[in-house]
Structures are given as structure tokens and as C-alpha cells.
Amino acid sequence: MFDLRYHVASLAAVFVALVLGMFVGVGLSGRGFVSDAERENLQARIDELRLERDAAVARVADADVRDQAFEDFVRASYADLVRGRLDGRSIALVFVGSVDQGVAQTVRRAVIEAGGRVALLRALRVPLETEAVDGRLGANPDTQALSGADNREQLGREVARELVGSGPKPVLGLVAAELVEEQSGSSPIALDGVVLARPAPPQAGETQEFLTGLYAGFAAAQVPAVGIDESGASTRAAPVFRRRGLSTVSGIDEASAQVALVFLLA
């Protein structure tokens, strides 16, 4: 989506560059390198950019007013918009990294107000403790194929499948101590949706491969899977989630984003 703030910043950068260019030009003109006509052209371009910048700033201010009006409308209509959308549904909330209590509270409230419940919360420890995980997986004939650096993505897919599905969980049963930092709740039946947040910074190497598989595994599940982040997050996770096939909601701290989350889970 076109971002007016980015456009204003770009215009400002060009504006500064041209002003600096004009000053340099003035200095060089004293040595006979820049003509008066060239200086006039630079001044005209600066004046033109100043007008564009001022118009863009005005559009940003207008957009902010409209955004606030929309957010006020959503807040006033929130209960009617979400009521009953998730009636009886069980949702998993999965964090990559430590639990963000603010995000957890926001998601729980959104799900509950729509008639559902957060039945399962898991915070996955990153970076991956590869040696400990491989030791657990390699010691069991049923999970040996998931051990080793070449199998991190497949391991992530299997963890996602077990988190969402019902029935036996052989992998999580073996590596929960190494992989799960915090947990609450359980679900003896298959879940109806997954919300994924990533408070941890971007990962690299084998952990990144594991997360690639995890995200893809959630995206391939037969239930809605939504990746979220906050509007003020230092590193945005939504673009990464989107590349892996997940639905995404940014700015989950805003009422309109919470409505979007409920609709995507419904």
C-alpha cells in the first residue's frame, strides 16, 4: 500500500539534496563552473519540490484524521462487529520467543469477546538448542529422521502439525523441555485456529530454517492461521509471515486490527 509518510520523507531527502546542490553550485559559480541559468533552474526545482512536500504533508495530516475517525468508529461498533464470530472455537496462541503479556492479553480479549477461547499458549525458545534437540530426536527410532542440520525445516513443519492437531505428539513429547519456554492450557481435540506472534528478533542459520518450516506448517494446516505484530514493533514480523503463506494482521494493539483478527479466524 502506498505510504504517504514514506513519500514525504523521500521528498524531504530530495529537497535537502537539491538545496545542498544549489549551495555547491553557488560556490562553483564563483569559479566559473555554474551559470546563472543553471542556478535559476535549481531554484525553480527547489520551489517545486517545496510545494510537493507541503501538499504531501497536508495529505498525511488528512489521512491521520480519517484513520482516527475510522478507529473511533470501530471502537464504538466493536462488540457488534465481533459478537458470536468465534462461538465455541478453540484457538492456539504461539509465540516465537518469550511471551509478550500485552499481546497475549489483547489476543485473549479479542477471542473471548468473539465467543471463543485461547485453549493453548506456547512460547518457543529461540535460538534452537540444536545439540539437545538432536540428542532427544536421534535417540528415538521414530524421530531419528527429524534430527540433524539438514532437517530443521521438516522439524518445524512437524512441530506446527502437532501443535494444531489432536492425537499423539511424539516430537513435542520428546523436545518440549528444549523447545518450549512457557506453556499453558491443552487441547485434547484439534484446534480451530492459530495466532502466531514473534517477539524475538529475526533468527539465522538452523533456527531460521526451523521457523521457515514452522510458519509453512501453520499455513498448510486445515485451520485459519494468522501472524500478528504490533504497530510499534522494532522489527516487523508480518512480512515474514506473509512470505510463508500466513494471513497477517499488523498493529494488533488497534481495535480495527483486532476486528480483522477475529474475521480471519472465523
pLDDT tens, position by position, 191-231: 999 999 999 999 999 999 999 999 999 999 999 999 999 98
pLDDT at 159 over 70: yes
The confidence band for 2, taking pLDDT boundaries of 50, 70 and 90, is very low
Q: What is the pLDDT of residue 184?
A: 93
Find the distance separating the first CA and the last CA of the chain, reported in whole Å: 25
pLDDT at 37 over 90: no
The confidence band for 30, taking pLDDT boundaries of 50, 70 and 90, is very low
Mind listing the pLDDT tens digit for each residue in 225-250? 999 999 877 788 999 999 999 999 99
pLDDT at 77 over 90: no
* Angle at the Cα of 209 from the Cα atoms of 222 and 161, rounded to 5 degrees: 25
Q: What is the pLDDT of residue 66?
A: 57
Of the candidate ranges 25-39, 45-59, 138-152, the one whose mean pLDDT is the lowest: 25-39
Half-sphere exposure for 88 (CA within 13 Å, toward CB):
1
Residues paired with 248 in a beta bridge: 227
CATH code: domain 85-265 is 3.40.50
194, containing H or E segment: strand 193-197
Per-residue CA distances from 94 to 103, 111, 118, 121, 146 (Å)? 11, 14, 10, 6, 21
Long-range contacts of 28-34 (CB under 8 A, 24+ apart): none
Q: CA–CA separation, 241 vs 212, rounded Å?
A: 9
Instruction: Name the residue among 260, 236, 265 with its Cα closest to residue 71.
Output: 260
Q: What is the pLDDT of residue 125?
A: 98
The confidence band for 255, taking pLDDT boundaries of 50, 70 and 90, is confident
